[in-house]
Amino acid sequence: MFPILVLLTLVEVGSGLVLGRFEAQLLRYPTLLTLVPVTIGTAGNIGSILAARLSTAFHLGTLSFDIKDDTLTGNAIATIGLSVSIFPIVGVGAWGLTALTGMTRLTPWRVVTIALLAGVCLAVLATFVTIITTYLAYRLELDPDDVVLPAVTNICDVLGVIVLFFVVQISL
């Protein structure tokens, strides 16, 4: 596990470096500053939920890595569906929090749209990362409970920052 943890630490450092590149934009739009930790945290949590479900199915022997596997596809679809329902709430909450402080410069509609687009993209990416990581753990004869959750949450942190700011760039 030590090499995996070192690699994941480097991934987290990369996330911080990417975040630092967007500091001026975050300071210009405080709502985005509020949206960053909630978005990456929620994406990591959604990926972790899928990872836990796939790991359990793996241990029960009910998971096959076939596109026709109902456990695999059903959980993947549920993960993306969960993001569609959660991320608009995240957007409303981020806008509401900054509105209370009088610092919002974006409309609620724009913030919800950014949160939803980023959230759905992150859920799709988190789903692929989770499935690939679970499969790699299986192939390398590692326990998915030990490997997949930390990998998914760390990778989702980096992807969360990148995807959020990509969506911001095309939305503003």
The answer as to whether 1 is a domain residue is no
User: Which ranges of the chain would DSSP assign to H, the alpha helix?
Assistant: 2-21, 23-28, 30-60, 70-100, 108-139, 144-171
pLDDT reported for residue 76: 94
Other C-beta atoms lying within 10 Å of the C-beta of residue 138? 17
- Give percent above pLDDT 70 in the chain: 99
The answer as to whether 89 is a domain residue is yes
The answer as to whether 123 is a domain residue is yes
- Is 99's pLDDT higher than 90? yes
Contact status, residue 94 vs residue 34, Cβ threshold 8 Å: yes
- Chain center to CA of 104: 24
pTM of the model: 0.85
> Which CATH number characterizes residue 157's domain?
1.10.357.20
Rounded Cα gap, residues 44 and 69, in angstroms: 24
- Chain center to CA of 101: 27
Total number of domains in the chain: 1
For the ranges 47-56, 71-80, 105-114, 154-163, the lowest mean pLDDT is seen at 154-163
> Which residues, 6 or more positions from 72, have their beta carbon under 8 angstroms from its beta carbon?
54, 57, 63, 64, 65, 66, 131
Q: For residue 160, count CB atoms less than 10 angstroms from its CB and return exposed for 0-12, middle for 13-18, buried for 19 or more.
A: buried
The answer as to whether 133 is a domain residue is yes
Note the pLDDT tens digit of each residue in 70-79.
989 999 999 9
The answer as to whether 21 is a domain residue is no
Listed residue (158, 171, 50, 48) closest to 115, CA to CA: 171
The answer as to whether 13 is a domain residue is no
Range of the domain at 88: 31-171
The answer as to whether 153 is a domain residue is yes
The answer as to whether 78 is a domain residue is yes
How many residues make up the chain in this entry?
Answer: 172
Looking at residues 2-28, what average pLDDT do you find?
Answer: 77
